[in-house]
Amino acid sequence: EKPTIMVTGGAGYIGSHAVLALKDAGYGVVVIDNLVTGFRWAIPDDVPFVQGDIADQPLVEATLRDHGITAIMHFAGSVVVPESVENPLKYYHNNSAKTRDLIDSAVRVGVPHFIFSSTAATYGTPDVEAVREDTPQQPINPYGMSKLMTEYMLRDVAAAHPMNFCALRYFNVAGADPQGRTGQSTAGATHLIKVAVEAALGKRESVAIFGTDFATPDGTGVRDYIHVSDLAAAHVLALEALMAEPDRNHLLNCGYGRGFSVLDVLDAVDRATNNPIKRIMAPRRAGDPAALISDNRAILAAFPWQPRYADLDLIVAHALAWERALETRA
Ligand code: UFG
């Protein structure tokens, strides 16, 4: 009998894929989500669901106790970088302050393991080819800072209390469950692959290319796109590593260690549909680094992680399939 994991934000994009990965691996799962941005239908029917806030400490502590929770996977949070610049206190509230209360509940109940969704945005605009975990973390927006603050909280709490943690610093997450069970569902997204598949299906007129004069091979921004199901699998391995070595914490990049430009992505979407999307040249977005690529040697050394979908065409194909499925769901 495998332990039961509480997944915060399990009705959201990455969280709902983690729920499937945990279930597929035989773990018990309980989801807590306030459904502000998540979808009830994204949670499988046989997974217990608690509608509520991660900062509702009586509710969280009752849930942790009632289900004998062994680990928390914490996905709940706000994720839109430009919004964090406009409304920083929303980010320090949702991502930092509420997470402080969640961690407090975990300590009070004695939950031994905590897995946290961190981000490459904690590195800011690093001046290196491939970002290592010891590359200085200098966030350039409140989103990245709000996540870095949580890394610091976890480090200090793990030193003071019987809890270990893993912070996974995600690079650019994209794609959808290969079996079509969940995907990225929030409308009005700003993420490139989501925007491009929406355009490919006629839900948008065109795709703006934010900057064509970067110091990259084709002048457009380069990112390390990682399939959401490979990322979810990394969370299960993180859980197993935390349980195997309770005195060890992990702070790890989660990417494939290679980059694609905006044009590479748009070409892949065009290939998938055989029907070119309209492209518009636009100025750079404030704060966008030219390139952001992970050095992923640390996670490959720490976990037996074998990415299964490290292929841009596959990521795009799954994103497109989910975007089509969403049309029939709405
Ligand atoms: N881009 C466009 N047009 C668009 C959208 C994006 O040209 O319509 C470009 C961006 O300028 C960038 C690339 O596509 O060069 C990727 O942009 P995204 O908005 O998809 O993602 P970001 O790299 O800006 O940020 C994402 C997440 C963050 C996370 C970061 C970590 O949104 O939460 O990856 O790498 F922190």
For 280-292, what is the mean pLDDT? 92
Quote ipTM for the complex.
0.96
CA of 171 to the centre of ligand 1 (A): 10
Sequence ranges of the domains in the chain: 4-174+225-254, 192-223+257-294+308-329
Q: How far apart are CA 13 and CA 295, in angstroms?
A: 24
Test site for ligand 1: of 85, 191, 254, most ligand atoms within 8 A of the Cβ: 191
Residues in contact with 183: Cβ distance below 8 Å, sequence separation at least 6, in sequence order: 13, 175, 176, 177, 318, 319, 321, 322, 323, 325, 326
Residue 114 has pLDDT above 70, yes or no: yes
pLDDT digits (tens, 9 = 90+) for 228-238: 999 999 999 99
Which residue has the least CA distance to atom 24 on ligand 1? Answer: 288
For 181-189, what is the mean pLDDT? 91
For 35-45, what is the mean pLDDT? 97
Q: How far apart are CA 52 and CA 74, in angstroms?
A: 14
CB of 197 within 6 A of ligand 1: the answer is no
Cβ-contact 77, 53 below 8 angstroms:
no
192-223+257-294+308-329 and 4-174+225-254 share a CATH fold:
no
For 130-141, what is the mean pLDDT? 96
For 117-127, what is the mean pLDDT? 95
Q: Which helix (H) or strand (E) holds 223?
A: strand 222-223
Q: To which CATH superfamily is domain 192-223+257-294+308-329 assigned? A: UDP-galactose 4-epimerase, domain 1 (3.90.25.10)
Q: How confident is the model at residue 91, as a pLDDT?
A: 98
Q: How confident is the model at residue 288, as a pLDDT?
A: 86
Q: How confident is the model at residue 287, as a pLDDT?
A: 79
Q: How confident is the model at residue 112, as a pLDDT?
A: 98
Mean pLDDT over all residues of the chain? 97
Q: How confident is the model at residue 329, as a pLDDT?
A: 75
pLDDT digits (tens, 9 = 90+) for 53-87: 999 999 999 999 999 999 999 999 999 988 999 99
Q: How confident is the model at residue 188, as a pLDDT?
A: 79
For 274-301, what is the mean pLDDT? 95
Residue 169 has pLDDT above 70, yes or no: yes
Structure tokens at 128: 């290196």
Cβ-contact 235, 18 below 8 angstroms:
yes
CB of 226 within 6 A of ligand 1: the answer is no
Q: Tell me which CATH code domain 4-174+225-254 carries.
A: 3.40.50.720
Name beta bridge partners: 32.
Answer: 8, 50
Q: How far apart are CA 282 and CA 301, in angstroms?
A: 40
Q: How confident is the model at residue 330, as a pLDDT?
A: 55
